Amino acid sequence: NPASKVYVANKIKACNTVGFHSMTHKLEDSSSEEELLSLIDNLNKDESIDGILVQLPLPKHINELKIINAIAPEKDVDGFLAHNLGTLATGELNSAIACTPFGVMALLYAYGIDPSGKNSVVIGRSNIVGKPMSLLLLSADATVTMAHSKTQNLIQICQNADILVAAAGQPEMVTKDFIKKDAIVIDVGIHRKENGKLCGDTHQNAKEIASALTPVPGGVGPMTIAMLMLNTALAAWNKDRKS
């Protein structure tokens, strides 16, 4: 997957920058579920490894959830395991949190934006962004609406958002018409346009109405990687604490 190649290269670079040892296992497209499960099993048992990340998407013949849930919970630095998403839902914020939504929360706090009591709309309901994003905003006391491809009156719902998170995977779908005056808009999308330029899920005209809009590239993407490094450091510290 061409996008995955770029993401993985950036993650390796970040590991080198912060001084983490990293190993990459590139499997063939035709690799079986068993091969991948056996690799994860070895990494689970390997004492020298604190974090495991399976870059998604996986080929169609492989059951993504089965693979993700085979990772040892304490090594799940992506925060994708059912266990880790579940503890987010129950409010036990002591296991790995999915890196992209975690990065969005870090950005909000860095800019002094407290979601408490604010109307927040998350467009997209994926396990890796939309669902954990909604849970994190909820745990920060926001009033949260989850919107998705079947949502009716999407524009009106978004017009009510003080914080709007665009994670629909649709290039430039969120235009200025979606945006309440002075809203905070977080753009999780990244797409390559026909002219070769990168864009997000939000149209640039959103800037005319919003008080803040994350850039693409250079907004949420680097935050995702920063939180991956943080999750990995926490996994290593937690292991040391237990041993």
d(CA 148, CA 130): 9
Pick the closest to residue 223 from 12, 50, 75, 14 (CA basis): 14
Q: Which is nearer to ligand GUN, 177 or 192 (CB)?
A: 192
| Residue 52 near residue 69 (C-beta atoms within 8 A) | no
Residue 55 binds ligand GUN (CB under 6 A): yes
Instruction: Say whether 55 is catalytic.
Output: yes
Q: Quick check: helix, strand or coil at residue 195?
A: coil
The one segment of 54-62, 185-193, 199-207, 214-222 that binds ligand GUN by CB under 6 A? 54-62
The one segment of 48-56, 106-114, 143-151, 167-175 that binds ligand GUN by CB under 6 A? 48-56
Closest approach, Cβ 27 to ligand GUN, in A, equals 14
Catalytic residue among 78, 162, 187, 201: 78
Binding residue for ligand GUN, selected from 120, 145, 202, 224, defined by CB under 6 A: 224
Name the DSSP class of 183. -
HSE at residue 47, side-chain half, CA atoms within 13 A, is 2
d(CA 172, CA 168): 10
Residue with tokens 């491809």: 149
Residues 154 to 213 in contact with ligand GUN, rule: CB under 6 A: none
Instruction: Say whether 78 is catalytic.
Output: yes
Alpha carbon 164 to chain centroid, angstroms: 15
Q: Which is nearer to ligand GUN, 158 or 165 (CB)?
A: 165
Contact positions toward ligand GUN, by CB under 6 A? 53-56, 78, 99-100, 128, 224
Any idea which residues carry the catalytic annotation? 11, 55, 78
